[in-house]
Structure 1
Amino acid sequence: MSQDRTEPSSERATRGALMGAEVAEQPDVWARLLDRADQPDGELAAAAALIGRRRPRFVQFVARGTSDHAALYAKYFAEIVLQLPCGLVSPSTMTAYGAEPDLTDVLMIGVSQSGGSPDLVTTLERARAQGALTVAVTNNPTSALAQAAEAQIDIAVGPEKAVAATKSYTGQLLALYLLLDRVRGGDGAAARRLPEWGTALLGRDDDVAELAQRYRFASRLVTTARGYSYPTASEAALKLMETCYLSAQAFSGADLLHGPLAMIDPQVPVLTVVGDGIGGRAMGQVLPRLSELGADVFCVGTPDAVAAATVGIALPDGVAEEVSPLLEILPFQQLARHLALFRGGDPDAPRGLKKVTETL
Structure 2
Amino acid sequence: MTDRTAGARMNAEIADQPRVLAELTARRAEIADVAAVVARRRPRFVLLAARGSSDHAALYAKYLIEILLNLPAGLASPSTITLYDARPSLDDVLFVTASQSGGSPDLVAATESARRCGALTVAVTNTPGSPLVSAAELSIDIGAGEEQAVAATKTYTATLLALYLLVDAVRGGTGEYALPLGELAQSTLDTSADVVREAAARYRFAERMVTTGRGYSLATASEAALKLAETSYLSARAYSGADLLHGPVAAVDEETAVLAVTSAGRGGAAMREVLETVSERGADVLAVGSAAADMPAGLRVDVPRTEEEVAPVLEVLPLQRLAYELALARGADPDRPRGLSKVTKTR
TM-score interval, normalised by the smaller of the two chains: over 0.9
Contact 2:262–2:291 under 8 Å retained in 1:
no
Quote the Cα distance in structure 2 between the aligned partners of 1:277 and 1:234. 19
Deviations 1:257-293 (A, max 9, x none): 0110011111110000111001011112201101111
- Alignment correspondent of 1:176: 163
- Alignment correspondent of 2:212: 224
Deviation at 1:303, TM superposition (A): 5.1
Counterpart of 1:343, as a letter, is: R
- Alignment correspondent of 1:254: 242
1:128 to 109, 115, 138: 115
- Alignment correspondent of 2:333: 346
- Alignment correspondent of 1:30: 21
Q: How many residue pairs align between the two structures?
A: 346
Quote the Cα distance in structure 2 between the aligned partners of 1:287 and 1:52. 40
1:207 to 192, 195, 219: 195
Quote the Cα distance in structure 1 between the aligned partners of 2:294 and 2:233. 26
- Alignment correspondent of 1:99: 86
- Alignment correspondent of 1:151: 138
Contact 1:299–1:306 under 8 Å retained in 2:
no
Counterpart of 2:6, as a letter, is: R
Deviation at 1:305, TM superposition (A): 3.9
Deviations 1:188-212 (A, max 9, x none): 1011111111111101223211220
> Is it true that 1:265 corresponds to 2:257 in the alignment?
no
Quote the Cα distance in structure 2 between the aligned partners of 1:331 and 1:34. 21
Quote the Cα distance in structure 1 between the aligned partners of 2:200 and 2:294. 16
Deviations 1:208-267 (A, max 9, x none): 112201111111110000000000000000000000112100000000001100111111
Deviations 1:7-60 (A, max 9, x none): 1x5xx22001110010011010001001111x3xx3x12211110111100000
Counterpart of 2:263, as a letter, is: G
Q: 1:277 to 1:303 in 2, by over 3 A?
A: closer
Q: Structure 2: 5+ residue runs without aligned partners?
A: none
**SS of the residue aligned with 2:255?**
coil
Counterpart of 1:171, as a letter, is: A
State TM-score, norm by structure 1: 0.94
Quote the Cα distance in structure 1 between the aligned partners of 2:56 and 2:343. 16
Quote the Cα distance in structure 2 between the aligned partners of 1:306 and 1:214. 21
- Alignment correspondent of 1:289: 277
**SS of the residue aligned with 1:111?**
strand
Contact 1:233–1:251 under 8 Å retained in 2:
yes
Quote the Cα distance in structure 1 between the aligned partners of 2:296 and 2:74. 35
- Alignment correspondent of 2:224: 236
Contact 1:306–1:314 under 8 Å retained in 2:
no
Counterpart of 2:299, as a letter, is: V
State TM-score, norm by structure 2: 0.98
Counterpart of 2:254, as a letter, is: P
Q: Superposition RMSD on alpha carbons, in Å?
A: 1.0
Contact 1:306–1:312 under 8 Å retained in 2:
no
Counterpart of 2:298, as a letter, is: T
- Alignment correspondent of 1:4: none
Deviations 1:59-89 (A, max 9, x none): 0000000000000000000001100011100
Q: 1:303 to 1:225 in 2, by over 3 A?
A: closer
Q: 1:69 to 1:303 in 2, by over 3 A?
A: closer
